[in-house]
Amino acid sequence: RVLDGNPMLCLAMSATNTDTVFASTAPVTNSARVFRTLNGGLTWEDLTMDLPDRYPMDIAVDPTNSRNVYVVFSGFGTSHLFKSNDAGWSWIDIGADLPDVPSSAVTVDPLFPEHIYFGNDLGVYVSVNGGGTWQEWREGLPTAVLVMDLTISPRNRKLRVATHGNGVWERALLEAPDVSVDEPPQNVVSFRLEQNYPNPFSLQRREMTTIAYELKIASDVQLALYNVMGQEVARLQEGMVSAGRHAIRFDGNKLAAGAYFYRLRVGGIMQTKKMLVVE
């Protein structure tokens, strides 16, 4: 299907709704554009607005929330990374602190979607707060490397970096700290998430495991279980919970053997721990 007469550069599909697809086109016969379809390509909407007229090289959709979309622009003289929190209706410049060099790739960690990885002609950068701040993440890469693509391998939790002329490299992903907040935790609600017990627990013996946590005051909580691809597989608890220690018994016999992560969210603060299910 012809969108605007320009060559298409990239496509990105929502992991939560396969009828939602984002597309970008190159500025060849006219300005670069970013489009979205909500019905599997029957109709398309132009979401470009005031995005730069540069080559939109890559698009990434948050695997857990398709309203969060990232677009990378190459070239010079403009910011190179923009984010939408409303599925493309508006855009925020989150690349002001990144170098003004050609840029090619962005990807989102499906388990910790606030972790964003970005690639350009200088290497790899990472943000642990959804693009609020950035830091270099080039350890282990050649001194001079042009990053062409980034992908995440969920099986071994590694970032894979395809370069121009320097091969393909991989490095273990960042894991979430025990507490993740946007601002220093001065007046945050205090809570503690414990390691599940037993861990690992056995499917063959039909064991159950217990996940416990403690709240200092009554709070609105969400406790959920995720697989290594960042997909929620069980919602264990949600809603207002009284102060004190709470224990949730979980029957994992419908799960496949492997690694899982459980996350407790209290307001905007999260703690995450890993559990193992064995045969």
CATH of the domain at 88: 2.130.10.10
**3 domain residue, yes or no:** no
Q: Residue 165: what pLDDT?
A: 92
3-class secondary-structure state, position 74: coil
Percent of the chain past pLDDT 70, that is, above it, reads: 94
Regarding whether 199 and 66 lie in a shared domain, the answer is: no
116-149, pLDDT tens digit by residue? Answer: 999 999 999 999 888 988 999 988 898 879 999 9
Regarding whether 160 and 212 lie in a shared domain, the answer is: no
Among 172, 204, 222, the domain boundary falls at: 172
Q: How confident is the model at residue 1 (pLDDT cuts 50, 70, 90)?
A: low
Among 138, 172, 206, the domain boundary falls at: 172
3-class secondary-structure state, position 108: strand
Q: Residue 179: what pLDDT?
A: 37
State the average pLDDT for the chain: 88
- Judged on CB neighbours under 10 Å (0-12, 13-18, 19+), 255 is middle
Q: Residue 253: what pLDDT?
A: 85
Q: Residue 279: which residues within 8 A CB-CB, separation 6 or more?
A: 202, 203, 204, 257
Q: Residue 157: what pLDDT?
A: 87
Range of the domain at 236: 191-278
Identify residue 48 by its one-letter amino acid code. T
76-99, pLDDT tens digit by residue? Answer: 999 999 999 999 999 999 999 999
**223 domain residue, yes or no:** yes
Q: Residue 252: what pLDDT?
A: 86
Number of domains in the chain: 2
CB 275 within 8 A of CB 233: no
Write out the two tokens for 4.
């605007």
Chain centre to alpha carbon of residue 261:
15
CA–CA dist 25, 5 (Å, integer): 9
Regarding whether 205 and 130 lie in a shared domain, the answer is: no
**93 domain residue, yes or no:** yes
**183 domain residue, yes or no:** no
Q: Residue 185: what pLDDT?
A: 45
CB 152 within 8 A of CB 160: yes
Regarding whether 94 and 27 lie in a shared domain, the answer is: yes
Among 172, 203, 221, the domain boundary falls at: 172
- Judged on CB neighbours under 10 Å (0-12, 13-18, 19+), 183 is exposed
The CATH number that applies at residue 271 is 2.60.40.2550
150-193, pLDDT tens digit by residue? Answer: 999 987 889 999 999 999 999 999 876 543 333 434 444 578 99
The gap between the terminal CA atoms of the chain, to the nearest Å, is: 48
CB 107 within 8 A of CB 150: yes
CA–CA dist 94, 213 (Å, integer): 35
Regarding whether 239 and 108 lie in a shared domain, the answer is: no
Q: Residue 171: what pLDDT?
A: 93
